[in-house]
Structure 1
Amino acid sequence: MVHEFTHAERIRYKRRQDAAYQAGEEAVANLKAALALAGLVLPSLCNDGPLGCRGFVRLGGCSVALANRLAEVIAAGARALEGGQE
Structure 2
Amino acid sequence: MIHDLTRAERLRYQRKQDAAYEAGEAAVSNLKAALALAGLVLPSLSNDGPVGCRGLVRLGGCSTELANRLAEVIAAGARALRDQQG
Per the TM superposition, whether the score is higher than 0.5 is yes
TM-superposed CA distance for 1:20, in Å, is 0.2
Distance 2:39 2:3 in 1: 50
Residue identity opposite 1:14 in structure 2: Q
Distance 2:27 2:4 in 1: 33
Instruction: Render the CA deviation track for 1:16-40: whole Å, top value 9, x for unaligned.
Output: 0000000000000000000000000
Runs (4+) of structure 1 moved beyond 4 Å? Answer: none
Residue identity opposite 2:8 in structure 1: A
Larger radius of gyration: 2
**Percent of paired sites with the same residue:** 80
Task: Give 1:9's aligned residue.
Answer: 9
TM-score computed with the length of structure 1 as normaliser: 0.69
Task: Give 1:29's aligned residue.
Answer: 29
Gaps of 5+ in 1: 61-72, 81-86
Q: CA RMSD in A?
A: 1.8
Higher normalized contact order (CA 8 Å, seq sep 6+, divided by chain length): 1
Distance 1:42 1:48 in 2: 14
Task: Give 2:39's aligned residue.
Answer: 39
Instruction: Render the CA deviation track for 1:6-64: whole Å, top value 9, x for unaligned.
Output: 0000000000000000000000000000000000000000000101100000014xxxx
